Amino acid sequence: MSVPVSQMWTVASYVVKQKLQRRKRYPLVLMLEPLFRCNLACAGCGKIQHPTEILKRHLSVAECLNAVDECGAPIVSIPGGEPLLHPEIDQIVEGMIERGKYVYLCTNAILLEKNLHRFKPSKQLSFSVHLDGPKEDHDAAVCREGIYDIAIQAIRTAVDQGFRVTTNTTVFSHGDPERLRGMFDTLMEIGVEGMMLSPGYQYEKAPDQEHFLSRDQTTNLFQRILGNAKRSWVFNQSPLFLEFLKGKWDLECTPWGNPTFNLFGWQKPCYLLEEGYADSFQELMDSVDWDSYGRASGNEKCQDCMVHCGYEPTAVDATFGTLSGFAMSAWRTVFGPGKDIIPEPIEASAPKASNLVSLEMNLSSPSGSKEEETHSVA
């Protein structure tokens, strides 16, 4: 199974329409965070550190659908927090599907099996399951044993019931290329439609500050992960973005391509940085000084960032807006990844004792308390 033709057509015609209208900045994927609450407390997460009163809140169905209407992007990604903890997530998804949107509901899959009955299989809905590596690696990344097995079982059940399932994998400096490649084989075997990859962003609030990647480390690691990729692997990402991760194609960030809406409003300027909020989508587009972001701007916070939410919309825009981008995408799609020379690894730093202390503290944080874990997993 691969991305439905109707979805490809919707995205392609939307981008071409923006080009014909000479719209310089347009949204491609709305990142809608209906809540920050989660039933895990991952070491690299920069989203769950809000105070308890914020973690208890969530957006209403109407607020979510208003944001969808305001933004107009053809694709909506629902990260979090854990969206399946939202009591009306089924109504939110249904409202988006009625509006013709293609929805990626991101989940750590702990609650997926027991919530499947709330959704109908649809070409417009895909569950995007968080998996940061094979069993030991994923369980270490999410700081809890057994989560990989739960996720794999939930994927199998969802696929059996006719749902589209994709995966999203965040890669950190200790990612092991061979083990990740083994996981890709497993995911393809169990019927995952496509895989999404991204390097982690260096969130200042994340407890683990030791395993984020510099730009050189990112391209080196992705050359080793994706070099000589198997034809059987399907990625739910544009070929240009994957080339960019390997350092073989240059892209600049277009943060307006993945605007973020959450409990505080429209986040400036992107999904990763929190530099204020706008009350409306239009205000976001008009009030951010976009030239102050992206690598070329010299902004320090952007220098090592190669995260999909900044660069995937650029890759899609280049595919449809430049001859060279279109030609490279077509070449990779038709002839596959080709043969790469695999580089030697750039050594990653070892974890410090202070970091391990942070991880332990994280596990006893409000969102990762034992009580909530027991309640959520049951």
Q: Which residues bind ligand SF4 (CB under 6 A)?
A: 38, 40-42, 45, 47-48, 80-82, 108, 130, 142, 253, 255, 269-270, 272-273, 293-294, 301-302, 305, 307, 309-310
DSSP 37: -
Distance of CA 114 to the CA centre of its chain: 23
* Rounded least distance, CB 2 to ligand SF4, Å: 25
* Rounded least distance, CB 92 to ligand SF4, Å: 17
Using the minimum distance from each CB to ligand SF4, give the nearer residue, 269 or 337: 269
- Only one residue has tokens 């020379």, namely 341
Helix (H, G, I), strand (E, B) or coil at 212: coil
Neighbour tally for 30: CB within 10 Å? 25
Are 142 and 107 in contact by the 8 Å Cβ rule? The answer is no
* Rounded least distance, CB 334 to ligand SF4, Å: 30
Using the minimum distance from each CB to ligand SF4, give the nearer residue, 199 or 337: 199
Neighbour tally for 134: CB within 10 Å? 20
Nearest to 216 by CA among 242, 240, 245, 180: 245
Residue 113 structure tokens: 């099996």
* Rounded least distance, CB 34 to ligand SF4, Å: 12
Are 238 and 325 in contact by the 8 Å Cβ rule? The answer is no
Nearest to 105 by CA among 123, 80, 87, 78: 78
What is the side-by-side strand order in the sheet with 29-32? 194-199, 164-171, 125-130, 102-107, 75-78, 29-32, 260-262, 265-269, 274-278
Using the minimum distance from each CB to ligand SF4, give the nearer residue, 68 or 272: 272
* Rounded least distance, CB 48 to ligand SF4, Å: 5
H or E element in which residue 170 lies: strand 164-171
Using the minimum distance from each CB to ligand SF4, give the nearer residue, 97 or 238: 238
Using the minimum distance from each CB to ligand SF4, give the nearer residue, 28 or 97: 28
Using the minimum distance from each CB to ligand SF4, give the nearer residue, 229 or 316: 316
Nearest to 75 by CA among 279, 288, 237, 201: 237
* Rounded least distance, CB 370 to ligand SF4, Å: 15
* Rounded least distance, CB 157 to ligand SF4, Å: 19
Using the minimum distance from each CB to ligand SF4, give the nearer residue, 47 or 50: 47
* Rounded least distance, CB 207 to ligand SF4, Å: 10
Tell me the C-alpha distance between 80 and 262, whole Å. 9
Q: Closest residue (Cβ) to ligand SF4?
A: 310
Are 61 and 301 in contact by the 8 Å Cβ rule? The answer is no
Using the minimum distance from each CB to ligand SF4, give the nearer residue, 201 or 337: 201
Q: Please work out, in degrees rounded to the nearest 5, the angle formed at the alpha carbon of residue 271 by the alpha carbons of 282 and 333.
A: 100
